[in-house]
Amino acid sequence: MERLRRFDVAQYNGVAMVVVESDLLPADPALLVIPLLPDYPAVRHLNPEILFDGQRLVLATRLIAAVRRARLRRAGSVADQGDQITRAVNVLMGGV
């Protein structure tokens, strides 16, 4: 299994996904991720634009999912934008 950390970007079936699961949790065969999509309808704070690999992609927060770790391939990191990503998850879960 490839080591993936929170805010790493991994490829899954040609789609970039941001790992949002805490690094403090024990390893599991699945990992919680959110897709980064080029044309996704954005809602303020819920769907921030994330700069990755020279592209502006929208964090499709409502499409959060668990994906088998073995199917993910690390492609980089967006840890520098972690505050925006954490805020989006907080908005999804708590509405604020």
What's the CATH number of domain 8-94, 3.50.50.60, 2.30.30.110, 1.10.3720.10, 2.40.110.10? 2.30.30.110
pLDDT at 49: 97
For the segment 38-76, what is each residue's pLDDT rounded down to a tens digit? 999 999 999 999 999 999 999 999 999 999 999 999 999
| Domains of the chain, residue spans | 8-94
Stated pTM of the model:
0.94
Number of neighbours of residue 10 by Cβ within 10 angstroms:
21
Number of CB atoms found within 10 A of residue 42's CB: 14
